[in-house]
Homo-oligomer: A and B are copies of this chain.
Amino acid sequence: MEYELWYWDGIPGRGEFVRLALEGAGIPYVERARGPDVDDNALVDDMARDRPHPPFAPPYLVAGQLTIAQTANILLFLGEKHGLAPTDTAGKLWVNQLQLTIADMVAEVHDVHHPIDSSMYYEDQQPEAKRKAYSFRRNRIPKYLGYFERVLEAQGDWLAGGTDWTYADLSLFILVDGLKFAFPKRLAHVGKNYPRVMALHRKVAELDALQDYFKSDRRLPYGDGIFRHYPELDEA
């Protein structure tokens, strides 16, 4: 059985958290809403299909008879099934907890450039975005990155301890990577306060298992998705 990943084409977005876990573990999958032969409406049409467990939003993963949505839920499934997280209750819940905290920050990053209405253009909510970006840079980046730094101080190289990554480590890589892209001045300024978080980012960037993916066109560049670089929203 080959997994089918459904996510908007053209941006890494939340699909990237699933994609990186699949790629890092060498799990075969096919993108169902990307590629030259895919109809532009394929994803919207598939979402509207009758199924017992419909997704509210992409990404979702079709695994045989199962359709699984919500990024953290997909990763919980893949983590258990493919050993991408500890198998004991405490370790499994811990990695899920970390993933949900990462998801909270991802939602906040998105809302910096869309504080009023996710269906409106950035340009139509730019004054509000500037205000929100100020508090995000000042308060939220240190709060979240300080938390993950504290976790790594206690756990070691990886968020759940041990000698190997879990899916939450790959997700933290994406978060830090996206923050460095979106807020380069701020991350250059505060990054030194979070040496363990930055080291984790480098270690994932260098994982043998991900080198082919990083060089391939399966990895999409940042664009009009969650992580956007608007110079007017960044400051040291």
Binding site for B on A (CB under 8 A): 50, 52-56, 65-66, 68-70, 72-73, 76-77, 89-90, 93-94, 96-97, 100-101, 104, 107, 111, 115-117, 119-120, 125, 128, 131-132, 135, 139, 144, 147, 150-151, 154-155
Interface secondary structure of A, over-half rule: helix
**Residue in chain B with minimal CB distance to A139:** B119
Copies of the polypeptide in the assembly: 2
Please measure, in the bound complex, the distance between the C-alpha atom of A50 and the C-alpha atom of B100, giving whole angstroms: 21
Please measure, in the bound complex, the distance between the C-alpha atom of A120 and the C-alpha atom of B136, giving whole angstroms: 12
Contacts of A56 in B (CB 8 A): 101, 104, 144, 147
**Residue in chain B with minimal CB distance to A148:** B56
B100 and A52 contact, CB distance less than 8 A: no
Contacts of A131 in B (CB 8 A): 116-117, 125, 128
Contacts of A101 in B (CB 8 A): 56, 69-70
Q: A53-B90, A119-B135 are in contact. List 8 more A-B contacts (CB 8 A).
A: A52-B154, A52-B155, A54-B147, A54-B151, A68-B97, A77-B93, A111-B111, A117-B131
Please measure, in the bound complex, the distance between the C-alpha atom of A132 and the C-alpha atom of B119, giving whole angstroms: 11
Contacts of A150 in B (CB 8 A): 54
B97 and A73 contact, CB distance less than 8 A: yes
Q: Nearest Cβ distance between residue A4 and chain B, in whole angstroms?
A: 16
Given contacts A50-B154, A54-B151, A66-B89, contact A116 B135 (CB under 8 A): yes
Contacts of A77 in B (CB 8 A): 89, 93
Please measure, in the bound complex, the distance between the C-alpha atom of A73 and the C-alpha atom of B91, giving whole angstroms: 12
Please measure, in the bound complex, the distance between the C-alpha atom of A107 and the C-alpha atom of B72, giving whole angstroms: 16
Q: Can you name 7 A-B pairs with beta carbons within 8 Å?
A: A52-B154, A56-B101, A66-B93, A70-B100, A116-B132, A116-B135, A119-B135
A70 and B50 contact, CB distance less than 8 A: no
Contacts of A52 in B (CB 8 A): 154-155
Please measure, in the bound complex, the distance between the C-alpha atom of A77 and the C-alpha atom of B97, giving whole angstroms: 11
Please measure, in the bound complex, the distance between the C-alpha atom of A130 and the C-alpha atom of B52, giving whole angstroms: 37
Q: Nearest Cβ distance between residue A36 and chain B, in whole angstroms?
A: 31
Contacts of A69 in B (CB 8 A): 97, 101
Given contacts A117-B132, A139-B117, contact A72 B93 (CB under 8 A): no
**Residue in chain B with minimal CB distance to A143:** B56
**Residue in chain B with minimal CB distance to A150:** B54
